[in-house]
Amino acid sequence: MELHDLITKITPANEKAYDACIYHFDHIAKPVGSLGKLETLLAKVAGASGTPKIDLSKKCVLVFCADNGVLAQGVAQSIHDVTTAIANSLVRHTTSVNTMAAACGADVFPVDMGMIDQVDGLIPHSIARGTNDISEGPAMTLEQAKQAILTGIHLVKERKEEGYRIIATGEAGIGNTTTSSAILSVLLDVPVEKVTGRGSGLTDDGLLRKQNAIKKALEVNKPDASDALDVLAKVGGFDIAGMTGAFLGGAIYGIPVIMDGFISGVAALLAVKLCPYVKDYILPSHISAEPAGQMLMEALGLDPIIHANMRLGEGTGAVALMPLLDMAAAVYWNAASFDDINVEAYEKWTSN
């Protein structure tokens, strides 16, 4: 099916399921709303899933791996070999996200979306062996961007068919804070300097090279801010495109998708630009320590509950939300109600 046809299938999340979850929480023997955002996040899971019978027993992380041609401009401390090393560690289950996911019972699915080096054990969906240098021309063709998005959608469909009920997004790709900053500068119409950070730890000179590479990319490519696909194809990356598809896939197939940090958030913003209803299916996890972290959340209208100055990537921030959701679900299913303890329910206070 064509990308446009899939997007037209997206509808708003189920309000009745959302309200039913909140109603159930209101009748648990505790002050009304006292678990705060944990309650509303779990209700969002219900709305996205279409049922208040919340099941988080099977969860996973999709880690999209890709290389970026803009590395040729010295925008990162590392070269593409580090993407390869991370991918090998993902296969060996030894990365940060692997160990964190194992601690909360989540499976990790690393995907080759377009790495320069081939790594055995990754799910093979390579669009090309890395993108082009955005400072010299488009990162990819429009057809490649659509193919990468469709891949992300398909991966969500596969996971749902395998019984997964919640999916986290992650990425691995040296140089992808550069592509993310380029996209965000265009979509929010803000200066490059305001959305560009040091990534994994650039020096002052390195940060200047990064900013200049992005400025040149925007000048050369002239991405159309009103066309999310055009922006993605011209200054994005295969990893970002795959995650954009994952967020769209969550909305298409009725499965909540947890957003990680800055790069994942840029993909979420692209997905919401393609279809505003997608926002109903996105669960924010943490606010990135990248300079544009707060700006991105405001653009999405989302409010992450983890404020830990995280900026690791791989989906680690998204996975960090999973134990919190598990605990909220434990209260939802197992805590006593007011009827159980023969106590009159608290009234729900509302302002005039």
Strand order in the sheet with 59-66: 123-124, 106-114, 59-66, 166-172, 257-259, 282-284
Sort strands 123-124 and 106-114 into parallel, antiparallel or unpaired.
Answer: parallel
| Full DSSP string of 92-137 | HT-SHHHHHHHHTTEEEEEEEEE-SS--TTSEE--SSSS---TTTS
Two tokens, residue 8? 């037209």
Two tokens, residue 100? 């964190």
Which helix (DSSP H) or strand (DSSP E) does residue 277 occupy?
Answer: none
Catalytic residue among 39, 171, 290, 314: 314
Using alpha carbons, select from 300, 163, 149 the residue that is nearest to residue 239.
Answer: 149
CB burial of 292-320 (b: ≥16 within 10 Å; e: otherwise) equals bbebbbebbebebbbeeebbbbbbbbbbb
130: left (phi over 0), alpha (psi -120 to 50) or beta: left
Whether residue 314 lies in the annotated active site: yes
In angstroms, the CA 321 to CA 280 distance is 17
Helices and strands of the chain, counted as H and E runs: 14, 6
**Cβ neighbours, 10 Å, residue 243:** 34
In angstroms, the CA 154 to CA 151 distance is 5
| Full DSSP string of 290-338 | STTHHHHHHHHT---SB-S-----TTHHHHHHHHHHHHHHHHHHHSPBT
> Which residues belong to the active site?
314
